[in-house]
Each structure stands twice: as structure tokens, then as C-alpha cells.
Structure 1
């Protein structure tokens, strides 16, 4: 059953004939007849009695007419509410996030925003995790995507978003001879990472803190070298076969898709880190900020579903893409 069938049914009932409905709706008679036949087949009831004057509702058809009008009215109200919400959402929204999250999230988020909320201007402020936390504390950004569990765990207006997997990344064709054996690995114990030199971001960032803490638990020390200032520069160096790095799939999804880089699972233990979505207190009632906040939640769920951003989805509101389903229903 769909809204087109309901509209054809109600118009036919009002006009008392299929030809009258066709003229009112500016639709060919066979198209209306087909939709009505499909509707009766699905409901397994006869909705109309045909006679020489046209059609008349059966008793079952009269009962169904009430429900059909109610359904279409509710859908129209939902459509008006959505249109009104989109019209109200105006202004600029600043989102602070790391380079890796920006890599996976920005294009899809911006595309969805332009499609649904054309009057909202979105700005990304990209930096290391500790800088994102500072920007948020100083109210320089409206929304933040953060990693610091202690800061975010019990904070108001904070949502655990995703527990992302971390991988060791290597070129499919390593040029460093010491990486040759790694090219055959599907997984590697964390303890074995001490045998290889790894690119490492600024030690104040969340990723080095996690890796160093895990190494200390196992009583080992990792060999590191400073990563290049930009994530893409570091990944380009790795993809050319000259280095190794540990990142989430959000940082590498575009390179993995074209097989320029390969992920090796880290085990014993498996490495994960939680991503938190934070909404600034001073923007809680801002409709544009609220719209972007919800779109980030939905986009994250979609990226997780297509394996671009791998891990455990902690925020399950949009696991089944419920917003898309609502919009499809409104569109009929």
C-alpha cells in the first residue's frame, strides 16, 4: 500500500467513477484502475461495486475510506512539519573534529545538509583531538567529535557515537625490506608492533596516548617516528611502501577502496577507541545546530553500515536509517 493508491482510491470514491478521478487527478484511467486493483488485491477485500453509472463504495470500502483519509492527513501534517523545520533552520554551524573523522564524514554530511537544510552554512574546524577539546571548552565551536573518555563520559549534552577499530596500515607493495613479512599478515599481536617503526602523531593527541598506555601494560616500548603534519601526507608515504601507521578506517577508507593501502588487524588485545559527539551548552536551542547534530548521528550510522567507518556503533538511533524511511513515506 502506498500514498498514490490511497489518493486514487479517495478521488474515485469522491467522483463516483474512475473516469472522473482520472480527469481530476490528470492521470490516465488505466493507471488508476491498476492501482485500485492492486490495492484490493493487497487488502483482500472489494472496495467498489461497479455499475453503469460508475462505481460505489462497498461497506468495507466505506470503512476503509475513513482510514485512508486519516493516513493521508497524517502524512501531509508530517510533510508540513518537515518543511517548516527546514525553513526555520538558518545560520552558521561550526563543527570541530580530527583529520581522520573529517576524511570520512565531511563530504556525506555536507551533501545531506545541502539537500535537507539549504539555509544552514556548515564550517569544519579540523585539528588534533586536544585542540578540538580546547575549542569546545572555549566555545569556539558548536559541535565537537572527541575521543577523551574521561572528559566526555559523564558530560551533559554528550553522546557516545562509535567505538572505532584501530588497524596497522601498510602498502600492498612495501618497498622497505623489513615490511616484507608483514605484507602476508592478516593480523598481528600488539606486542609484535615493538619490532617495527611506526608513524606517530603529536604525543598530546588521543591516539599516541592510547598506544603508549597499552604498550606500558604489556611492558614494551614502541619505536616511533614523527608523523607529517597532515594526515594525507603521512598516508601517502605509507601507501608508497615506506612506512607503517596505526589509524582507524575513517582515516583510510578512500585509500582502502582503491587498494592503495591495506589494513592488518591488531590483536591481543584488539584496539578500539570511543568517539563522542558533544553539543555546546550555549547552542542547545539553536535549530540549525540541532539539525547538524542529528545529521552527524545519521551519517555516522550510514558510514558504519557500508564499512567505511568500522567498529561498534554505540548510538543506534539511526541504525535502520529511520529518517530516510520517514522522508520516503512523506514522498509517497
Structure 2
């Protein structure tokens, strides 16, 4: 139904005269009369009784006026809400984050964000980096925190901070500060179980490099989850391949890099989002805050 005709109808009902309503609307009286006739034809009812004193709503007209008044109020409310979405920090956003990254990053990242944007609903979804990239590209997530370079050309990626994936083992504080003899370390590696997560491409690369250096472990155990890798290594099950920040989280002297001569893989944590994402005021503020706060937290080097 043409909203213009309904607004004309409202104006005539309020003015009680077609001439006065036409003047208020800034159109001619004949044009308004034609519009009213068109509306009555579309609805199949008579909306006004007409006499020398003006026009009066029929029962059908009164009922339509009630409905139109409610509908126009809802439309105005919707318009105001949309304006708010564009110009105010309000809305719902989904943030993807690998669980291992989230455990040490989110506790420092989210409290300030939630306090700064009380009208923003933030949903956090845990997933591997590759899945997060797919979900952001498919618009199922608005933002993603990734630990590998995204491959999609549709994504914007902003570097937050850097980490390093390496072979770690349970250690004493003194051992964490002083490298052990290389022969002792290489022998330990060859006879140990090496824990890793196959969802980390960096871990697979380190395993390949260890084999090339004739340092293949006696057994490799894919634990799937990065947290399980860390906990199993702390429990004495074996050595582990982990990001240094994950190894240092909550157990700063419990897991440490095994030796500086062992292969490592540089790791960069990035914020990603679609290049064509609808940049509402809330989206802009949230992305800026995520970058600023994550970079500040990333300056704290792992122990």
C-alpha cells in the first residue's frame, strides 16, 4: 500500500476539510481528491462522508485511522532505531577467537570494551583461526582474531601483536633462564613424546623441521585442543609445541622454550573483518577499540 496515500488520508482526517489538508500538504485540492478516491478504490470502502461543512470519517475511516496511526508510529520508531544504529554505539556483533588466544587475551581485552559500550551486545565464538576466517568471509562473524595470514581477498587484516610458536617443556625457574646443553636437549627430544595440535599449521611446520634436523621425537601425540597440549605438558606427559604466550599464561615458569637452537615459527595475531562490512558507528568504535586495546596488551612480552 502506498504510504503517501495513507499520509494524505491522515492529513484530511486531521483537518476535516480537503482544501485545508491540501494546503498543509502543499498539493492542489484536485490532486488530493484524486488520491483519496484512489485509496478508497484500493480498499473497497468509503472513508469519508462529504457535506458542505467538510468531510467526516465513516466507521471504516475511523478504523483505518487507528491502524494507520499505529503503523506510522511504528515506522517512526523504526526510523529512529535505524538512525541510532548508524550514528550511536549500539548493535550486536559476533567476535571469533581461538580458545587458546582468548584465554590470555580476552580477560584483559573485554572488560574495558563492555564498560565503554554498554549498548553493544558482543557474542564471542571460539573456533580455530581457519574456521574464523571462513565465518568472517561468510558474514557469520563480524570480527575475527586470527593467528595465521588470512587467504581471502575480501578481508581486511590489522596486525595486533606478535608471538612465537616453539617447543616447550616443564622446567624450573632456573632452567627457564639458563639454556641446557644442546646435546642433553636433543637427546631428550628424540626420546620424548611431543604433544601438539594439528589445527595449528605452525606446529606441523615445526615437526617437519625437526625431522629434517634428525630431531624427530620418539612419539608424536596430536591432542587436538591447544589447552590440552599445555595441560598435558604441565602434567609431565611430554614436550609440547605451543605459542610462547599460551605457554606462559597462568604458568609462567612451568613451561618454557626448550632451547634457542630448536626451530620456531613466528606468529602474528591479527584482527580481520570484511572489507565491505557495514560500517555503523558502533562497528567503527568497536574495531578501533579492539585494535587499540589488543595492541596495548600485546606489548607485554611473555615470560
Q: Which TM-score band applies after superposition, normalised by the shorter structure?
A: 0.5 to 0.7
CA distance in 1, matches of 2:296, 2:100: 17
Q: Which residue is 1:136 aligned to? A: 136
The structural deviation recorded for 1:182 is 9.7
The structural deviation recorded for 1:304 is 2.5
- Structure 2 unaligned regions, length at least 5: 1-83
Q: How does 1:42-61 map to 2 (within 5 A)?
A: none
The structural deviation recorded for 1:263 is 3.6
**1:88-113 alpha-carbon deviations (Å, 9 max, x no partner):** 11112111121221112111121111
CA distance in 2, matches of 1:265, 1:117: 44
CA distance in 1, matches of 2:297, 2:181: 24
Q: How does 1:280-319 map to 2 (within 5 A)?
A: 280-308=274-302
Find out whether 1:163 has 2:162 as its counterpart: yes
Find out whether 1:95 has 2:95 as its counterpart: yes
Q: Which residue is 1:237 aligned to? A: 232
Partner of 2:250, secondary structure, is: helix
Q: In the superposition, relative to structure 1, how do residues 215 and 286 fare at CA in structure 2: closer, same or farther (>3 Å)?
A: farther
The structural deviation recorded for 1:272 is 1.2
**1:178-218 alpha-carbon deviations (Å, 9 max, x no partner):** xxx999746969x945553211213x532334324534665
Any conservation in 2 of the 1:168–1:266 contact (CA below 8 Å)? Answer: no
Q: In the superposition, relative to structure 1, how do residues 187 and 255 fare at CA in structure 2: closer, same or farther (>3 Å)?
A: farther
CA distance in 1, matches of 2:274, 2:197: 27
Q: How does 1:2-21 map to 2 (within 5 A)?
A: none
Partner of 1:256, secondary structure, is: coil
The structural deviation recorded for 1:301 is 2.2
CA distance in 2, matches of 1:161, 1:214: 27
Q: Which residue is 2:67 aligned to? A: none
Q: How does 1:189-228 map to 2 (within 5 A)?
A: 192=186, 193-202=189-198, 204-215=199-210, 218=213, 221=216, 223-227=219-223
Q: Which residue is 2:55 aligned to? A: none
Q: In the superposition, relative to structure 1, how do residues 267 and 233 fare at CA in structure 2: closer, same or farther (>3 Å)?
A: same
Q: Which moved more, 1:115-124 or 1:276-285?
A: 276-285
CA distance in 2, matches of 1:217, 1:199: 18
Q: TM-score of the superposition, structure 2-length normalised?
A: 0.58
Partner of 1:149, secondary structure, is: coil
Q: TM-score of the superposition, structure 1-length normalised?
A: 0.54
Q: Which residue is 1:272 aligned to? A: 266
Q: Which residue is 2:114 aligned to? A: 114
Greater Rg by CA: 2
Q: In the superposition, relative to structure 1, how do residues 188 and 132 fare at CA in structure 2: closer, same or farther (>3 Å)?
A: farther
Count of matched residue positions in the alignment of Structure 1 and Structure 2:
215
The structural deviation recorded for 1:285 is 0.6
The structural deviation recorded for 1:284 is 4.3
Find out whether 1:255 has 2:250 as its counterpart: yes
CA distance in 1, matches of 2:194, 2:297: 27
Any conservation in 2 of the 1:198–1:225 contact (CA below 8 Å)? Answer: yes
Q: In the superposition, relative to structure 1, how do residues 284 and 218 fare at CA in structure 2: closer, same or farther (>3 Å)?
A: farther
CA RMSD across the alignment: 3.7
